[in-house]
Chain A
Amino acid sequence: MQIDTIDKSRELRAYRFGMLMFLVTQAVPFTVIYAVEYLFDEFYISPKANQWLGTVEVLLVLASWWLGRQGLAAIRQNRLLDLVTKFRQSLLLGTASLVVLGYQWGTRFVPPSTRYGEVYYTLTGVTGFYTLVSLFVLLAISIRAAKVKLSSDNYWDAEATMYLWTFGLLTNVISYVLLYWI
């Protein structure tokens, strides 16, 4: 029994390490775009960039992440229903952030033909892709949680989702700072 617990603990550490390692590697593509952004734009910010919408978008992501964290805290206390609810609320806000991004893209506040525009659409596009993947996982795990009955003894799925969404938050915040502030 003790060996079994040790094995499970080691397995969990392996999952956490693997997930973290994967996310660290996913920071590399962003580093490439940040380097390209610095190369071409340095500290230039287009006056046509809509900082209000950019702020709304990142605040929505932040709020979504916060709800996701609450969901994770809930399952640690064995409150499955709260996990599912919070994850779905998180999903809703995350989707709203993508809608705001889509609106910005659709209205072309930033002309794509400019140097700033190239970086803007590339960076927001890649960030948006990672956000989309994170939201898909939030949706999947909110459904899975209810079906396989996650509990305070078994919530790695929810934890992994929040690893991913935390990465999504970081990429959104850094992109926001780079595109709208420095």
Chain B
Amino acid sequence: MAQNIITQPDTYRTRPMMPPVLRGFLWAAIGFLVFNMATIAVDPFRGHPFVTEVSAVIGWAGGVIGWLLGVGGWEGIVLPLFGSPSAWVEPLDWRRYFELSTDHKVIGIQYLVSASGTFLIAGLIAMGIRYELMQPSLHFFTYANQYLTAVGIHGTLMMFAVGTVALIGGLGNYFVPLMIGAKSTVFPRLSGIGHWLVPAGVLTVIFSPLLGYWDTGWRGYEPLAMQDPGGIVYYYLGVAALTLSSSFVSVNLAATIIFQRARGVTWARLPLFVWGTITVSLLNLIWLPEIQMTFILGLLDKLVPFNFFDAIGSPLSYLSLFWLFGHPEVYIIVVPAISLWNEIIPVMAQKSLFARSWAVIGLIFVMMLSGLVWAHHMFTNMRNSEIFPFSFFTEMISIPTGFSFMAAIGTLWKSRMRLYTPGLLVIMSLFNFLIGGLTGVFLADPPVNFQVHNTFFVVAHFHYTIIGGMVFTWMAAMYYWLPKLSGRMYSEFWGKFLAIVIFIGFNGAFSQMFLLGLHGMNRWVPAYPPYLQPMNYEVSLFAFLLGAGFVGHAIHIAWAWAKGPKAQENPWNSRTLEWMTSSPPPRNNFDGEVEVSGSFYRYDVDKLPGVIHPTE
């Protein structure tokens, strides 16, 4: 049924407006106060303080609504929704990064900046954690709960505001439409407002200790969470905002990939990173709403209080519901990264991608199996008969993951790999993720799992997958696409030097954590037996080196973005579509209609896979 969709006509700002971010803060404060006071006004239990747990939740909702309206939601979404004329027009200068945007490239950069800023904040907290662990007793934090809250905030931010966000919200929003030859996304406002949920969620989590220290870590374990002070409430709410942001982006990018591909961009030709994005978008759309509802149940347990997950209810049900999401979450973070390996390696090697179909099949099967492995986090609470299938599937998932390794190694085989910074970081990531993956197979084995459960062995394992797999690849992708993002080039010396620094810092810190775990170092403790101190001391020194390396990368990339030498149009001689337009790309991405007639990964043919037909 054909319809002519009327889009909102261009409108122009007719009166001066307060800077949107400033207005967002103001309206958030007003929203919080109004909703909080309204709650207090109807509170039947007089004598409560001005902010109670209940009023903090409802006030938070008012604050977030005020924030989203203030940063542009009022003019960009609410007024059009009611058919009212809007005084809003998107600026074209630097101000566009500080308000609601409908340009997927601006949104991508907003996500990248938010994720990077959060990465540095959560990394700083990690430095505090490592500083504490240099001594076997409390010396930096005053109370154990402070330490545990720091660990919880670190994990929550890294998982929900960096790992889940950087590659899909950041690079996905920016590059997926370009890589499929689209001029925009299907639901640009959805991604646009989605970004502004990230700062809301991050600030909520960071300021959660104002309501009391919470000691459950990023997993919000019950029934501990029910007994915690009010800070846990803002953990739930912060995660709700962050996951909602990723859900919005996933709807938008999945619809865009399915419907906005340029002519000739068939499923068989779809770039690997786009495959990674759509598989992860599907994972997001299944599992993020699941954890949101689980946290609402946790919130009700805390506020009403109900008894879903306490001793009267079923704490194990919480664990099941959490890990049903929690393990796919790891793949939500890692799958885009392993798809990026096979995006970057053929370009750096200038060699056709080996076994492309298997690399794609691997991504899809990882997605499918990721929902069948969750209970390996709960082996210590399960009967032997229940353990077996989860142990089996956990070991099985290493096979499709191995397809990505196979494609990468097959492409590298007998190639003349150009070891520029992106290539170097990808190879480092391959190494790191191999360690993370192999130790994952150990952890899937019940006897080993029982032995090292809740020790630093597990901490090392997942940091090898998340930092080693995802963060290293994120860095590689930033260097790879920096010329496209900024039109400028980085310093090859500093790029490689800093890559080596973080590789040494990372492996020095986390490889020793395996040994610490085997020697009996437990997680979630700020104090430990003195015999573990020397190795903990070394780990902390390497962790500081790693932290300094990441700060160095951030400074280097920021410098190159602003002041680096002008880059060539296609400095890597890549064949994917994003390199067929100017750097940075124009508002509509391409000056014409894109048509594709060949593979993006065939370096044995000269003819480019795509052409742009100029618009008449």
Residues of chain B contacted by A24 (CB below 8 angstroms): 285
A50 within 8 A of B: no
Residues of chain A contacted by B83 (CB below 8 angstroms): 143-148
Bin the interface of chain B by size. 35 or more
Residues of chain A contacted by B251 (CB below 8 angstroms): 18, 21-22, 25
Pick the residue among B6, B286, B321 that contacts A154 (CB under 8 A): B6
Do A112 and B304 touch (CB < 8 A)? yes
A26 within 8 A of B: yes
A12 within 8 A of B: yes
Q: Please report the C-alpha to C-alpha distance between residue A131 and residue B2 in the assembled complex, in whole angstroms.
A: 29
Do A36 and B308 touch (CB < 8 A)? yes
Do A12 and B6 touch (CB < 8 A)? no
Residues of chain B contacted by A148 (CB below 8 angstroms): 6, 83
Q: Please report the C-alpha to C-alpha distance between residue A153 and residue B247 in the assembled complex, in whole angstroms.
A: 31
Residues of chain A contacted by B392 (CB below 8 angstroms): none
Do B259 and A13 touch (CB < 8 A)? yes
Do B290 and A36 touch (CB < 8 A)? no
Q: Please report the C-alpha to C-alpha distance between residue A36 and residue B5 in the assembled complex, in whole angstroms.
A: 42
With contacts A5-B2, A29-B290 known, what are 20 further pairs, Cβ within 8 A?
A8-B5, A12-B2, A12-B3, A12-B5, A14-B256, A15-B5, A17-B259, A18-B252, A18-B254, A21-B254, A21-B255, A25-B285, A29-B289, A32-B297, A118-B300, A122-B300, A126-B293, A141-B81, A145-B83, A156-B5
Q: Please report the C-alpha to C-alpha distance between residue A112 and residue B306 in the assembled complex, in whole angstroms.
A: 8
Q: Please report the C-alpha to C-alpha distance between residue A110 and residue B259 in the assembled complex, in whole angstroms.
A: 48
Residue contacts A-B, CB under 8 angstroms, 20 given: A8-B3, A11-B259, A12-B2, A13-B259, A14-B186, A14-B258, A17-B258, A18-B251, A25-B251, A25-B289, A28-B289, A28-B290, A29-B296, A32-B290, A32-B294, A33-B297, A122-B300, A141-B81, A155-B3, A156-B3
Interface residues of B in 249-293 (CB under 8 A from A): 251-252, 254-256, 258-260, 285-290, 292-293
Residues of chain A contacted by B255 (CB below 8 angstroms): 14-15, 17-18, 21
B314 within 8 A of A: yes
Residues of chain B contacted by A155 (CB below 8 angstroms): 3
A10 within 8 A of B: yes
B451 within 8 A of A: no
Residues of chain A contacted by B393 (CB below 8 angstroms): none
Known A-B contacts A5-B2, A18-B186; the reply to A36 vs B317 at CB < 8 A is yes
Residues of chain A contacted by B91 (CB below 8 angstroms): none
Q: How far is the CB of B54 from chain A (nearest CB, A)?
A: 14
Do A33 and B293 touch (CB < 8 A)? yes
B313 within 8 A of A: yes
Known A-B contacts A122-B306, A140-B82, A154-B6; the reply to A25 vs B286 at CB < 8 A is yes
Residues of chain A contacted by B5 (CB below 8 angstroms): 8, 11-12, 15, 154, 156
Interface residues of B in 70-84 (CB under 8 A from A): 80-84
Interface residues of A in 36-64 (CB under 8 A from B): 36, 39-40
Residues of chain A contacted by B454 (CB below 8 angstroms): none
Residues of chain A contacted by B398 (CB below 8 angstroms): none
Q: Please report the C-alpha to C-alpha distance between residue A107 and residue B258 in the assembled complex, in whole angstroms.
A: 49
B4 within 8 A of A: yes
Contact with A along B221-240 (1 / 0, CB 8 A): 00000000000000000000
Q: Please report the C-alpha to C-alpha distance between residue A83 and residue B319 in the assembled complex, in whole angstroms.
A: 48
Residues of chain A contacted by B507 (CB below 8 angstroms): none
Q: Please report the C-alpha to C-alpha distance between residue A24 and residue B308 in the assembled complex, in whole angstroms.
A: 25
A9 within 8 A of B: yes
Residues of chain B contacted by A15 (CB below 8 angstroms): 5, 186, 255
Residues of chain A contacted by B52 (CB below 8 angstroms): none
B25 within 8 A of A: no
Do A9 and B81 touch (CB < 8 A)? no
Known A-B contacts A22-B251, A32-B294, A147-B84; the reply to A154 vs B306 at CB < 8 A is no
Q: Please report the C-alpha to C-alpha distance between residue A118 and residue B317 in the assembled complex, in whole angstroms.
A: 15
Q: How far is the CB of A78 from chain B (nearest CB, A)?
A: 12
Do B294 and A39 touch (CB < 8 A)? no
Q: How far is the CB of A69 from chain B (nearest CB, A)?
A: 16
Q: Please report the C-alpha to C-alpha distance between residue A34 and residue B474 in the assembled complex, in whole angstroms.
A: 39
Q: How far is the CB of B281 from chain A (nearest CB, A)?
A: 9
Q: Please report the C-alpha to C-alpha distance between residue A112 and residue B105 in the assembled complex, in whole angstroms.
A: 49
Residues of chain A contacted by B581 (CB below 8 angstroms): none
Known A-B contacts A14-B260, A21-B254, A155-B3; the reply to A29 vs B292 at CB < 8 A is yes
Q: How far is the CB of A121 from chain B (nearest CB, A)?
A: 8
Residues of chain B contacted by A115 (CB below 8 angstroms): 307
B528 within 8 A of A: no
Pick the residue among B81, B247, B307, B317 that contacts A144 (CB under 8 A): B81
Contact with A along B1-18 (1 / 0, CB 8 A): 111111000000000000
Do B293 and A29 touch (CB < 8 A)? yes
Residues of chain B contacted by A36 (CB below 8 angstroms): 297, 308, 317
Q: Please report the C-alpha to C-alpha distance between residue A126 and residue B186 in the assembled complex, in whole angstroms.
A: 28
